[in-house]
Amino acid sequence: MGEAFLARWQFGLTSTYHWLFVPLTLGLTVFIAIMEVIYVRTGKEIYKKMAQFWGKLFLINFAMGVVTGIVQEFHFGMNWSEYSRFMGDIFGAPLALEALTAFFLESTFIGIWIFGWERLSPKLHAAAACLVAIGTNLSAFWILVANSFMQHPVGFALRNGRAEMTDFGALLTNGYVAHQFPHVVLAGLTTAGAFIAAISAWQVLRKNQLPFFELSLKSGIALMLAGAVLVAGVGHLQARYIAKVQPMKLAAAEALWETTDSAPFSLFAAINEKQQRNTMELAVPGALSFLVYDSFQGKIQGIKDIQNEMVQKYGPGDYIPPVTPIFWSFRLMVISGMWMLAIGLVGWYLARRNQLLDNTLVLKAIFWTLPVSYIANATGWYMAEAGRQPWLVVGLQTTQQGVSPNVTAAEIWTTMIGFTLVYAIIAAAAVYLAKKVIVKGAAEQRPTQIAGAKGATLWN
């Protein structure tokens, strides 16, 4: 296997592992902040307990996200040094701002939030929770500013073989950011809702601490339902934008080989990438054109024509991404989103009629919605990143051009295996800690002395 292939695999594995924790962190911080604000406004202790209980699981998840995210940054200088050389002037700015603003903000106020339960007034403590939520989602914004440049480069000039920033405002107002950021944030809220609802459903099935987990269950369902509805709407707008700036990604997601007026939306396709055709297809006529143009009439470029245009613009080469996995990852994302939307609607309806707690089948379905939310996140992000291949930075640098020239396959194999083993150990520890918290439930919170930290307290 070549160094480029292995470097892509290593970064893909690291990114996938990291992305398991990011959406939940984004959504849980918002949920916890809301619970604390409600506690301040109502004075009801149950909302404080909800912030504390779900806060424990957030901290475990947050720690895993930080550890795996730091490793990703080392990849840029080690496996992808040519990318860093070419893009450093642009990519470095949002990453630096992410550390200086978002990461410092969330890290500082997470500490205040953890140790401030008995030291701060409820209002100040709720303010700390809100600042953690702002910092966490601001961190996502800066990362997506950098990523969006790779998807749709703006505000730059090519000088001496490098991309140099000429307009920082253009990076911030990049249309790709405007569509991608709300999509990611809302996906985080949906994931957090599914997580809260699933764990609460598990506890309700066992009749554990029903007043607490009944409220958590209803809150999780409401968050999941609202998030699923909004993320579908934003996703639709993002798809329309992608049709303008990344037509190849849209065509690959639909396995649309020929330019078509009144293009269909494929429900199923048997794709033959070598012959560049679909041997069998089940589709809704005109539906793809309707999604893009709000009309059943509208031309959608096919993969073959886009490939020819790119050859004329960039020179000889294969500019077609992996069509089959992109096609099916998009459908898995949509199906997962529809499942969460449907379960949210059913759960909300039964909760309104006070019939949810007695419906074992729906409670079990809610529990099994948890992995569905992760499938939606993973497949959606795969489509976003794989859909721009073979480009690392669309139109400027291919993936092959970004790989470090002095890293060997043996070195990549060694670190990839090492990272995987370490991650497995860390994941086992995280699952063990999370399981302990979940099984114990929302027991009475009592301050506990931390060994080696005089005067510091955490809740049990």
Question: What pLDDT score does 459 carry?
Answer: 30
Neighbours of 126 (CB within 10 A): 24
Nearest to 72 by CA among 111, 98, 100: 98
**Phi/psi at 311 (5° precision):** -65, -40
The whole-angstrom separation of Cα 296 and Cα 315 is: 34
Tell me how many degrees the CA angle 264-266-270 measures, rounded to the nearest 5: 130
Question: What pLDDT score does 28 carry?
Answer: 95
For residue 271, give every residue at least 6 positions away whose Cβ sits within 8 Å of its Cβ, in sequence order, or none.
Answer: 255, 278, 279, 323, 324, 327
Cβ proximity of 384 and 377 under 8 Å: no
Question: What pLDDT score does 1 carry?
Answer: 56
User: pLDDT tens string for the chain (460 positions)?
Assistant: 577 888 888 888 888 888 888 899 999 999 999 999 999 999 999 999 999 999 999 998 888 887 777 777 777 778 888 888 898 888 888 888 888 888 888 888 999 999 988 889 999 999 999 999 999 999 999 999 999 999 999 999 998 889 999 999 999 999 999 999 999 999 999 999 999 999 999 999 988 888 899 999 999 999 999 999 999 999 889 888 998 999 999 999 999 999 988 889 989 999 999 999 999 989 899 889 988 888 888 889 999 999 999 999 999 999 999 999 999 999 999 999 999 999 999 999 999 999 999 899 999 999 999 999 999 999 998 998 999 999 999 989 998 888 888 888 888 888 888 888 888 888 888 888 888 888 887 765 443 332 333 333 223 2
pTM: 0.88
Question: What pLDDT score does 445 carry?
Answer: 42
Within 13 Å and on the Cβ side, how many CA atoms surround 346? 17
Question: What pLDDT score does 446 carry?
Answer: 40
Question: What pLDDT score does 4 carry?
Answer: 80
